[in-house]
Chains A and B, each alone.
Chain A
Amino acid sequence: MPAIKTENLVKRYSEVTAVDGVSLEIPKGEVFGLLGPNGAGKTTTISMLATLVSPTSGAALVAGHNIITRPLEVRKNIGIVFQEPSVDDLLTARENLYLHSMLYGVPRPEIEQKIKKMLALVNLTERAGSLVRTFSGGMRRRLEIARGLIHDPKILFLDEPTLGLDPASRKAIWTHIRALKETHNTTIILTTHYMEEADSLADRIGIINRGKIIELDTPEALKKKVGQDLVLLKGEINEAALKALPFVNSVERENNHFKIGITNSGANLQALLNAGGRIEEVEVRRVTLDDVFLKFAGEQIGQDIEEHAEGIFERIAANKTVRK
């Protein structure tokens, strides 16, 4: 039985379709990365799976329980770290963790021990007794993560878990996520903007845009679709000749240079340069998930920006105020 199985999950709000027919199967113990631009439907998908929002149509089983008919059973098996901090401002860090443990039915004799462990993990031991009101954004986030983990959920949803964290805290959280998978076989669904994060943590990645999963594979396979290596060329380039080469996966023109995805640059670079025309500048680098993301989701983002060009700055401004 997979940890999560969805069939044609749809969520329509009055004006927009936030999630448009998502079908997924996530096996137990997998770290699944959900990647997509703002407003692509990542958070709505997670909210439906966590039974916080009811789907317009479609079905989903989480830990074997139907999200519509058995939401309580689903909730017993999951943990969530929300994108926007939801820790209680008026309570201390320790009280937040205690309350959460009680709500999730952690046996009382174990609570004290677990709180201690979690506080140490997210480096908040010294501030355990302070009101969350006095915490910085990063500290709240860390507390939120500790809270999501404290009841040892079988399935963990992390919605942008390391947003706004400093590199050291981020690395600590990553280490813990990997450890959870290894020691507890926890299934983890992770949404993120950081390609590096998805690349280093996720077993498989789904790229979601406009409510639809447009690509779904391992990070390696996704990168292969772009090419193992990227060669950036500047000069008078013979595009047709490049495309004819067997080891070239993709050729894209970007402003004043060409972006060419190839396999095995070590063996093939010489041939590429010979065929390329009069070259002024060369740069070779490994493909990253950023390139994958831009290839699959980038075109649509470009379109979106053009379509809504007049409104985009207002929207960005609105987003920023909300975040505060």
Chain B
Amino acid sequence: MLNLNAVYALLLREAKIFFREKERIISILISPLLFLFVMGKGIAGGHSPVAGYSYQQFIFPGIMAMVILFTSITYGLYIIWDKRLDFLKEVLAAPISRTTLFVGKSLGGMLGSITETLLLLLIGAAFILPLDIFKILLTLAAAFPISFMITNIGLTIGARMKSMEGFGLVMSFLTWPLFFFSGALFDLSTSAPYIKVLSLFDPVTYAVDLFRVIMLGQGNFPVWISLGAILVFSLATTILGVVSFGKLQQEK
């Protein structure tokens, strides 16, 4: 079912392309950095819900989740380009199962997200929130399942979308709401009731909370709830993704 050589080949392709486009690696970091350094400092008077940390330090874990969210969704939607430009045809015609293709693509997306996470983590640790090596490693470890979960969402949507015109729609109707309702910029426990309810269905909520527990030592959920939710969302999006990839056909 899973052809490891093929997964390696697919991953290799994504890695080569990702590291060849250095401008893209940098440009993805721009908006998270604006949030961190402009909004984080701009609302300087804004109080931090976690004692002992500034507002800028408080939103840093949330911005980590943001980087993963935006990198992974964008990556997933990119397969529309592959479809358009016929590159996908070669892979669809290869003797590999759609599950193999999906896993290869998914790991490729994770690689990108983890790279961006590492870059932002190093910037943050240097200028915003001092972190010891143990916390850095834990954050990176947590980034793996989170990237996997969100890349799968992107790939599932990308596989079903017909044209790049839908890209803006997905960003407006999915990515930004996922970001805002996750409580990345505020404390959910003191927010309005409708935000609290909606945030429970937002997978990014659990990513933000897990990062906060690791970096600030305080969150709204116990670790096992966040990890459990991420696991459930990952499983669901994997199944959806594999099904969507199974339906991919050559388009005229």
Give me the interface of A with B, judged by CB distance under 8 Å.
13, 47, 50-54, 72-73, 75-76, 80, 82, 84-91, 95, 98-100, 102-105, 147
Q: Does B95 contact A (CB under 8 A)?
A: yes
Most buried by A among B21, B86, B90, B252: B90
Chain A residues with CB under 8 A of B252: 13
Q: Which of A80, A90, A91, A102 contacts B93 (CB 8 A)?
A: A80
- Report if A100-B90 is in contact (Cβ < 8 Å); known contacts: A52-B250, A88-B13: yes
Instruction: Give the secondary structure class of B's interface.
Output: helix
A102, B95: Cβ atoms closer than 8 Å = no
Complex: A52 Cα to B98 Cα, angstroms? 12
B95, A86: Cβ atoms closer than 8 Å = no
A75, B95: Cβ atoms closer than 8 Å = yes
- Report if A86-B16 is in contact (Cβ < 8 Å); known contacts: A72-B95, A75-B95, A102-B9: no
- Report if A105-B9 is in contact (Cβ < 8 Å); known contacts: A85-B86, A90-B17: no
Chain B residues with CB under 8 A of A98: 9
Chain B residues with CB under 8 A of A87: 87, 90
A91, B5: Cβ atoms closer than 8 Å = no
Chain B residues with CB under 8 A of A85: 86
A89, B87: Cβ atoms closer than 8 Å = yes
The smallest beta-carbon distance between A215 and chain B, in angstroms, is 26
Return the chain B residue nearest A92 by Cβ.
B16
B17, A91: Cβ atoms closer than 8 Å = yes
Return the chain B residue nearest A100 by Cβ.
B90
The smallest beta-carbon distance between A153 and chain B, in angstroms, is 10
B94, A86: Cβ atoms closer than 8 Å = no
Q: Does B28 contact A (CB under 8 A)?
A: no
Q: Does B170 contact A (CB under 8 A)?
A: no
Q: A51-B93, A86-B86 are in contact. List 18 more A-B contacts (CB 8 A).
A: A13-B252, A52-B89, A80-B93, A87-B87, A87-B90, A89-B87, A91-B13, A91-B16, A99-B9, A100-B94, A102-B5, A102-B9, A103-B94, A103-B96, A104-B95, A105-B3, A105-B95, A147-B90
Q: Which of A47, A52, A53, A103 contacts B9 (CB 8 A)?
A: A103
Complex: A76 Cα to B3 Cα, angstroms? 13
B86, A104: Cβ atoms closer than 8 Å = no
A103, B86: Cβ atoms closer than 8 Å = no
7 closest cross-chain pairs (CB), A and B: A102-B9, A75-B95, A52-B250, A103-B94, A76-B95, A86-B86, A86-B89
The smallest beta-carbon distance between B88 and chain A, in angstroms, is 8
Give me the interface of B with A, judged by CB distance under 8 Å.
3, 5-6, 8-10, 12-13, 16-17, 20-21, 85-87, 89-97, 249-250, 252
A52, B249: Cβ atoms closer than 8 Å = yes
Q: Which of A47, A73, A91 contacts B250 (CB 8 A)?
A: A47
Return the chain B residue nearest A13 by Cβ.
B252
Q: Which of B10, B16, B85, B249 contacts A89 (CB 8 A)?
A: B85
A103, B6: Cβ atoms closer than 8 Å = yes
B93, A50: Cβ atoms closer than 8 Å = yes
Chain B residues with CB under 8 A of A52: 89, 92-93, 249-250
Return the chain B residue nearest A51 by Cβ.
B93
Instruction: Give the secondary structure class of A's interface.
Output: loop
Complex: A76 Cα to B10 Cα, angstroms? 17
Chain B residues with CB under 8 A of A54: 249
Chain B residues with CB under 8 A of A13: 252
Chain B residues with CB under 8 A of A147: 90
Chain A residues with CB under 8 A of B87: 86-89
Q: Which of B3, B13, B93 contacts A99 (CB 8 A)?
A: B13
The smallest beta-carbon distance between A145 and chain B, in angstroms, is 13
Complex: A76 Cα to B97 Cα, angstroms? 11
- Report if A82-B86 is in contact (Cβ < 8 Å); known contacts: A53-B249, A99-B9: yes
Chain B residues with CB under 8 A of A95: 13, 16
Most buried by B among A50, A85, A88, A95: A88
Return the chain A residue nearest B92 by Cβ.
A52
The smallest beta-carbon distance between A27 and chain B, in angstroms, is 23
Q: Which of B5, B89, B90, B97 contacts A72 (CB 8 A)?
A: B97
The smallest beta-carbon distance between B162 and chain A, in angstroms, is 14
Return the chain A residue nearest B90 by Cβ.
A86
Complex: A99 Cα to B17 Cα, angstroms? 13
Return the chain A residue nearest B5 by Cβ.
A102
Complex: A47 Cα to B252 Cα, angstroms? 11
Chain B residues with CB under 8 A of A82: 86, 89-90
Complex: A77 Cα to B20 Cα, angstroms? 33
Complex: A89 Cα to B82 Cα, angstroms? 10
Complex: A50 Cα to B86 Cα, angstroms? 15
Complex: A103 Cα to B96 Cα, angstroms? 7
Most buried by B among A53, A72, A88, A103: A103
Chain B residues with CB under 8 A of A73: 95
Complex: A45 Cα to B16 Cα, angstroms? 35
The smallest beta-carbon distance between B39 and chain A, in angstroms, is 34
Chain B residues with CB under 8 A of A84: 86
